[in-house]
């Protein structure tokens, strides 16, 4: 049973525009699954289970627990990278890099109803749309420690990506659970913002 099912019924509408991106190495004061439970109790729109350093076997084990929590709180669960894990779980969705989407055989692609794709320039936006992406994650938009020394793309890129794309675009990079910042990316035309450290460290 999820731990935080008896929290206050208030729902902050900001979370309707937040996609959680996981990184278990950033969790400090709870176990990883307890942090996922707490984050999902805030009712974000989506969660991408992005644990790229895990083996496929370990990812499968943790994915089952995370999916159960997402299902309990009605959060859209997205496996990341591990296509075989998604198939084994019977999950019809996957988030991929553009390179992985390019290389995915058509017969495998047809197994998935929802395919997310990470993009970094307008050419990639166009290509990902052509390859059938259901949504895009575009970045990085703001300065972030994850991309130290790299100039952020900025909101001008985000606006252009949203205009060019035929599918929803989510912003990523330097985004915090902050009303003003989430409002800014939504005003650019994005579905919302993807947040990693701000969600993994949420108290």
Q: How many CB atoms lie within 10 A of CB 113?
A: 10
- Give a yes or no: residue 6 inside a domain: no
| Structural tokens at position 130 | 């052509």
Q: From CA 94, how far away is CA 66, in angstroms rounded?
A: 14
pLDDT score recorded for residue 52:
92
Give dist(CA 111, CA 93) in Å, integer: 8
Nearest to 136 by CA among 157, 118, 162: 118
Q: State which residues of the chain have pLDDT below 50.
A: 1, 4-5, 7
1 is a domain residue: no
The catalytic residues are 140
Distance CA 103, CA 98 (A): 9
| pTM beyond 0.85, yes or no | yes
Q: Which domain holds residue 116?
A: 13-200
**pLDDT at res. 1:** 43
Two tokens, residue 121: 């320039």
For the domain that residue 146 is a member of, what is the CATH number?
A: 3.20.20.70
Using alpha carbons only, how large is the chain's radius of gyration in Å?
16
Residue 5 included in any domain: no
Domain count, the chain: 1
């Amino acid at each position: 049973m999820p731990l935080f099912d008896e929290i206050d019924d208030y729902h902050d509408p900001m979370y309707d525009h937040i996609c959680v991106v996981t990184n278990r190495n950033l969790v400090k004061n709870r176990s990883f699954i307890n942090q996922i439970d707490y984050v999902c109790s805030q009712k974000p729109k989506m969660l991408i289970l992005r644990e790229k350093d895990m083996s496929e076997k370990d990812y499968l084990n943790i994915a089952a627990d995370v999916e159960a929590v997402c299902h309990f709180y009605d959060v859209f669960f997205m496996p990341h990278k591990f296509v075989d894990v998604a198939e084994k779980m019977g999950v019809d969705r996957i988030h991929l890099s553009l390179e992985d989407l390019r290389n995915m055989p058509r017969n495998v692609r047809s197994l998935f109803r929802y395919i997310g794709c990470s993009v970094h320039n307008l050419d990639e936006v166009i290509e990902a749309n052509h390859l059938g992406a259901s949504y895009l994650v575009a970045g990085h938009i703001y300065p972030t420690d994850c991309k130290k020394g790299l100039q952020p793309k900025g909101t001008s890129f985000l606006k252009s990506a949203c205009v060019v794309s035929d599918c929803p675009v989510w912003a990523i990079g330097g985004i915090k659970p902050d009303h003003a910042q989430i409002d800014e990316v939504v005003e650019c035309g994005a579905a919302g913002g993807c947040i990693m450290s701000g969600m993994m460290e949420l108290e």
